[in-house]
Amino acid sequence: EVQLVESGGDLVQPGGSLRLSCAASGFTFGSYWMHWVRQAPGKGLVWVARINSEGTTTKYADSVKGRFTISRDNAKNTLFLQMNTLRGEDTAVYFCARDNPDSRGYSGPDFWGQGTLVAVSS
Amino acid sequence: QSVLTQPASVSGSPGQSITISCTGTSSDIGRYDFVSWYQHHPGKAPKLILYDVTDRPSGVSDRFSGSKSGNAASLTITGLQAEDEGDYYCASYTTTITWIFGGGTRLTVL
């Protein structure tokens, strides 16, 4: 069974940093692209970042570019999101998600975790 | 464009059919057949129900179907059931090699 379990969410002050983790199991983690997607309170889903299976290429939404870094440790089946210079608008539930292996191209995630809450406030 | 356009809410009675629209641009939906739909119940993991516009993952009911025309995609649910209630999001790949989601549609089964 595919499982994705996020952790690391917390209350942090504006300007602070946080690192999220996502533990993967039930599939060959190192063979899949992975994504981070977030949902602010009462708002919709917003794509944040993507990393390829080897961890060599990444892509970010403009809103987090230069502040967030997606990375992975395939030996430990873990995905990370390093978040720096956090702002109030970064307050959200952060989901990690596996890229869909059945898509003929780039249809995005298939399996998702349940998310971890990041709150940015003084 | 920061988000694909979806209606905020739709509703239907059990057994009826509903359609949720998702409007983008020539830089996303209009350019690629990489549109996905997700069902989300708050507090839970979103669930993929359609990908590549029309394809259903294993285990998803054939009551869910998708289509695309020009810059817009649609999700149709036939034979509405109480368990279908929830939030639905479309998503598309874009020409900037990123993904964009819709604002979400709350489906209420009356």
- Tens of pLDDT, residue by residue over B47-104, are 999 999 999 999 999 999 999 999 999 999 999 999 999 999 999 999 998 999 999 9
Q: Given pLDDT bands bounded at 50, 70 and 90, which one contains residue B24?
A: very high
Q: Summarize the confidence of residues A41-62 as an average pLDDT.
A: 96
Q: Which two tokens stand for residue A5?
A: 């379990």
- Neighbouring C-beta atoms of residue A52, cutoff 10 Å: 14
- How confident is residue A102, by pLDDT bands cut at 50, 70 and 90? confident
Measure B16 CA to nearest chain A CA, in Å: 26
Interface test with B, best of A106, A114, A116, A117 (most B CBs within 10 A): A106
The mean pLDDT value for A83-91 works out to 98
pLDDT over threshold 90, residue A103: no
Distance, C-alpha A92 to centroid of its chain: 12
**Position A16 pLDDT exceeds 80:** yes
How close B94 gets to chain A, by Cα (Å)?
9
Task: Please report which confidence band the pLDDT of residue B18 belongs to, taking 50, 70 and 90 as the band edges.
Answer: very high
Q: Which residue of A has its CA nearest to B2?
A: A46
The Cα B23–Cα B90 span in angstroms is 9
Establish, for the pair of chains A and B, how many residue pairs have beta carbons separated by less than 8 Å. 81
Phi and psi at residue B29, in whole multiples of 5°?
-60, -40
Residues of A in contact with B93 (CB under 8 A): 105-108
Query: According to the model, what pLDDT value does residue A36 have?
Result: 98
User: Residue B16 and residue B80: Cα distance in Å, rounded?
Assistant: 5
Cβ separation of B48 and A109 shorter than 8 Å? Answer: yes
**Residue A105 pLDDT exceeds 70:** yes
**Residue A29: is its pLDDT beyond 90?**
yes
**Beta-carbon separation of A107 and B89 below 8 A:** no
- What's the pLDDT score for residue B1? 60
Q: What mean pLDDT value characterizes chain A?
A: 96
Q: Percent of chain A scored above 70 by pLDDT?
A: 100
- Does the beta-carbon distance from B91 to A47 stay under 8 Å? yes
